[in-house]
Structure 1
C-alpha cells in the first residue's frame, strides 16, 4: 500500500517551486504526494496565484489541494491597515482547522508524514493533535537557517531593534560575521512590533518539528550544517536533525514542463558564442526605479559585453504592498536610454518581465548571472555552473550575498546595493571582471567545481540522496512509535 506525503507550503511561488521539486523526490521513492495550499489573499491581484496554477498544471503527478477559502479573511486583508507581509504570515494560523479536516480525510495508516514550510509553523499543532510525524521544509539555505535559529538568543532581553546597529557585524556560529543591516527587514524592527514578534516566533517554532529538510547540499554550507548539529548552537534547546536534500532545482522546460513554444530568448542565445552572455534577472518581484534601470543600461552599454536582460516595470521593491500586486508590462522605449536598444541590438536582448531562467542558465552561451540572490536562483546558478554577481534586494538576499561571496565562493558583490543605488561604472566594472579577468576565470572554476559537487550529491549514494534515505528511515521509526 502506497503511503501519502502531504506538503504544506505558503502560497508564494518562491516557496511552492522548491516544494514541488521536493515532491518529485518523494515520488521517486514510491510515495503519493499531495500539496495543500491555503488560498492566497487578494487572489485577483496576487502575481503568484497564476504561477502556482501553472506549476500544478506542469506537474500532474502531484495532487494539488486548495483549502476552502476563509472569505472574511480576504475582506479583512483588502481593508486592513496592517503590513501585507504580516497578514500573509498570519494566514496559516487561520487555516489550521481546514488543514486538520483535510488530514483527517486520509486514513491514518496511509498518511506517511506532513512536511510544512517554515512559515507554516502553526501546523505543528495540527500534526501533534493527529499523531502525524511533522517535518519542516526550509526553502532557504543552511546558513540562513543557522542565523535565524540563533537569533532569538541574540535578541533576548533587547529593548531596542537591531536597525540602530547599522552595519555592525553580528557573530553567529557557522557563518561569516553578518552586518546587522543584512538581516531580513522584518527582524530589524523594535522587539515589541507585531511584525517583528510574528517573524521571530515563526523562526523559533520552525525547529520544533521532528526534523528540518533544507534545500542545499552539505558540502556547499558545511560550516553552517556543523553549527546546526552543535549542542552549543542554541543554549538550552536540542535542535532536531537537519537533512540537506538539495539542490532542489527545476529541470529545463524541455524536461517535463509544459510549454506551448520555446522562448525567443533561447533561440537568440543559441546563436551566441559559448560563455559570452551576461544574464541579468531579478525575480518576479525584483523591481528598480526608473533611474536605476537607466544606470544598468549605461553600464551594459559601456561594458561591450553580450547580455540578456529581463526588465520589469519600474517600482519600489521596499514597498511590501507592491510585492503582492501583479506587475504591469514595462514600456521599454520609455524607461531605457534613448538609442540604447538600437546601439546594442547586435550583442544584447532585452526581454519584458520574464524569461525561462533555468533554461537560460544552462545554455552554453551564458557566462555570468547578475542575480538578486534569492535562494532558488542561487541554487539554479550553482547547478548550471554559472558565476554570479550579487545584487540583493529584499528578504534574506543580503544574507545570501555574504554566504555566496565569502563561504561558497560562487559570486562577487555589486558594490553600492547597501545605499539602494548602483552606478553604471560599477555595473561595467563587475561585468568586465567576471567576463574578462583572471579573477573572473578563478570564480568560474570554483562554480564549476561546486556544480560537480551538487551533481554528485544528488546521485544515488551521494550526500543529499543519503540524507533523504536517512530521513525516510527516521520517519518510519517515528511512525511506528506514534502508532504504538
Structure 2
C-alpha cells in the first residue's frame, strides 16, 4: 500500500553550504506543497556535530525527518593533493550503500530522490527503486550552465584556449567565464577533480529535473539560455527549475553578545566581515585586513579564523596572545585601539541574524552562494573578496551583472593591501553605498515576490510537486491493478 502524500528523499553532501539549502528545500516541499520529506546527510566527524547542532537549534516541520548517515572513511582513497571537490565526490560514492540501506528500510519508498551536485551517482538507486530523480544546484544558474556545457567541449581546446592562452570560456547564450574567475577543476584535465566534475556534468542532464537556488529576476539571461533549445537547451535535456532563494531563516528571539553590541550601533553603520566556514587567509593577508578595517574608520564585526602559514597552506597557527589579549596574528594593540568601534569574533558568528540586523550596512564576503543570498535577501551591498571554487564567477555576477557589490581589484594569491581594503570599504559604506544599497533592496523585494504564492520560484517548485503527484498516482494505480 502506498502513502497518499508524495515523499521526497533529499541527499546532502558534507558541509553547511549544502546541508542548509537542501534542508530549506525539504521544508518548503513539506510546508507549501504537501510532501513528506527525509533529508539524508552524508557526514564527516566535523559535519556530523554541525548537523546535529543545526537539527537541535532550528524548528523542523513534523513531516520532515533528518537522517545523518554514518561518516565514511576515505583515508585510503585520497592523498595530500586530492582536491576538496574530488574528496566530496568520493565521500558521496562511499556513502551510497548506507543510503540504499536507509531508503530500503523506509515504510514507504520515496516518490523522488533529490541530490546535490556531488550526489548524482545516487541516480542508480532512484532507478532501482522507481523514483523520480532530481539534482539541486546550491549555486547559480550560470554555474549550472558551465557544468553541463563543459563536457560537450573538446578538452584540448579548453586546455589550449582557456587554460594556456587565458581566453574566456564561451557558454552559448550566457556570459563567458574569464580565466581569472574560472572554476578550479577546469584548470587541469588530468586532475581527479576535473574527472569528477565532468562526470557530474554528464549525469545531471539525465535527471527528471534540475533545481537551482536562484530566481528568474536574478538570472533571466542564463535561465533563458538553459530553456532555449537553440542555445543550451540541447545540453540541458532536463527541465531547469529556479526555486530560490532558499536560505536559513532568522531564528526567532535570537540573542547573543554580538547582537547586543549591534543593538547599540547606528543604523547601517557596521560592515560585517566573514569568509565562511572554509575561508582562511594567510598571516600577511590577515594583518593587511586588520589595518584596512582600522584605517577605514568604519564600525565592524569581523569573524576571524587563525591564519594559515604563508609557506604551508594547510597548517594552522598555534596562536598566542599579547598583553592586551590581541591574538598574535593581529597587529599589536588592535583590540585596544578598536574596542569602541569594532568587534572581533573568533571562528563563528550568527551570520543570518547579523545580516538581518538594521545596524549592518555592508558585507565583506568571500561570495559563497549561501552568504551571497543571505546578503541579498537582507538588501545589503557587498564587498566581493572571492577565494576559491566558483566564488570568482559569483563576484563577477554580483558586480557586473547584478550591481550589488564592489570587487577588490587584487585577487588571490596576490595580497590585498590595507590601502585597497580601506578604499573599497569606504566605497560601499560611504561613496557608492546608497546606489548599491538601493539595488540590493530592489532585489530583496524581488526575492520575496519569487518565493510568495504565485511567484516564479513558488510556481517552479509547484511543477516539480505536480510531477511527483502524477508519479505517485501512477504507482498507486499500478499496485492496485496488480
Query: TM-score by structure 2 length?
Result: 0.89
Q: Within 5 A, what are the aligned runs for 1:106-125?
A: 106-108=106-108, 111-125=110-124
Q: Distance in 2 between matches of 1:97 and 1:273?
A: 54
Moved more, 234-243 or 220-229: 234-243
Partner residue of 2:277? 284
How much has 1:161 moved relative to structure 2?
6.9
> Which ranges of structure 1 fall in alignment gaps of 5 or more residues?
none
Q: Tell me if structure 2 keeps the 8 A contact 1:219–1:453.
A: yes
Structure 1 residue 193, shift from structure 2 partner = 2.7
* 8 A contact 1:115–1:135 mirrored in 2: yes
Question: Matches of 2:207 and 2:95 in 1, distance apart?
Answer: 19
Counterpart position of 1:297: 290
Deviates more, 1:142-151 or 1:423-432: 142-151
Of the three residues 366, 369, 387, the one matched with 2:363 is 369
Count of residue correspondences: 465
Is the 8 Å Cα contact of residues 165 and 181 (structure 1) preserved in structure 2?
Answer: no
CA shift for structure 1 position 282: 0.6
Which residue of 2 is the match for residue 97 of structure 1?
97
Larger displacement relative to structure 2 (98-107 or 439-448): 98-107
**1:179 and 2:215 are equivalent in the alignment:** no
CA positional deviation for 1:31? 2.0
CA distance, structure 2, for counterparts of residue 155 and residue 472 of structure 1:
37
- Matched with 1:39 is 43
CA shift, 1:367, in A, is 0.5
Equivalences for residues 313-392 of structure 1 within 5 A: 313-315=306-308, 332-392=326-386
CA gap of 1:329–1:229, structure 2 versus 1, over 3 A, is: farther
Tell which deviates more after alignment, 156-165 or 281-290: 156-165
With over 3 angstroms needed to count, the CA separation of the structure-2 counterparts of 1:84 and 1:170, relative to structure 1, is closer
Partners of 1:154 and 1:316 lie apart in 2 by 38
Asked if structure 2 preserves the Cα contact closer than 8 Å seen for 1:163 and 1:181, the reply is no
- Give distance in 1, aligned partners of 2:451 and 2:158: 45
User: Aligned partners of 2:25, 2:202: CA distance in 1, in Å?
Assistant: 23
Question: Residues 159 and 306 of structure 1: is their aligned pair in 2 closer, same or farther, counting only changes over 3 Å?
Answer: closer
The equivalent of 1:55 in structure 2 is 54
Equivalent in 200, 205, 208 of residue 207 of structure 1: 205
**In terms of mean alpha carbon deviation, does 385-394 or 154-163 score higher?**
154-163
Distance 1:297 1:166, change over 3 A: farther
After superposition, the C-alpha distances for 1:198-254 in whole angstroms (9 at most, x for unaligned) are 122123212221001111111101111111111133485452111111110111122
C-alpha distance after superposition, 1:413-463 (max 9, x if no partner): 0110244311111111111111111x3211111000000100111111111
Deviation string, structure 1 residues 48-67 (Cα, Å, up to 9, x no partner)? 33211212223443322233
3-state DSSP class of the match of 2:377?
helix
Name the residue aligned to 2:20.
17
Q: Distance in 2 between matches of 1:382 and 1:185?
A: 25
Are 2:253 and 1:251 aligned? no
Q: Is the 8 A contact 2:162 2:168 kept in 1?
A: no
**Aligned equivalents of 2:202 and 2:422: distance in 1?**
42
* CA gap 1:333/1:362 in 2 versus in 1, 3 angstroms: same
Q: 1:383 to 1:238 in 2, by over 3 A?
A: closer
Cα deviation, residue 293, structure 1: 1.1
Rounded to whole Å, the distance in 1 between the matches of 2:258 and 2:443 is: 27
Provide the rounded CA distance (Å) in 2 between the counterparts of 1:31 and 1:166.
Answer: 50
| Counterpart position of 1:5 | 8
Partner of 2:466: 473
- Structure 2 Cα separation of the partners of residues 330 and 88 of structure 1: 33
Tell me the residue number matched to 2:194.
196
Distance 1:238 1:452, change over 3 A: closer
Structure 2 distance, partners of 1:317, 1:338, is: 19
- Following TM superposition, by how much is the alpha carbon of 1:382 offset from its aligned partner in structure 2, in angstroms? 0.3
Whether the 8 Å CA contact 2:145–2:232 is kept in 1: the answer is no
CA deviation vs aligned residue, 1:310-369 (integer Å, no higher than 9, x gap) = 1110026998867xx9x9888543111122222222211111111111111111111110
CA contact (8 A) 1:211 1:240 kept: yes
Distance 1:392 1:301, change over 3 A: same
CA spacing shift, 1:205–1:320, aligned 2, 3 Å: farther
On the 8 A contact 2:147/2:197 being kept in 1, the answer is no
Instruction: Classify 1:164/1:343 alpha carbon distance in 2 versus 1 (closer, same or farther; 3 Å).
Output: same
Q: Measure the CA separation in 1 of the matches of 2:386 and 2:276.
A: 11
CA distance in 2 between partners of 1:3 and 1:475 (Å): 6
Q: Over residues 280-328 of structure 1, what are the superposed CA-to-partner deviations in whole Å (9 max), with x where a residue is unaligned?
A: 1110121111111111111111111111111110026998867xx9x98
Counterpart position of 1:233: 231
Give the Cα–Cα distance (whole angstroms) in 2 for the partners of residues 204 and 90 of structure 1.
17
Name the TM-score, length of structure 1 as normaliser: 0.89
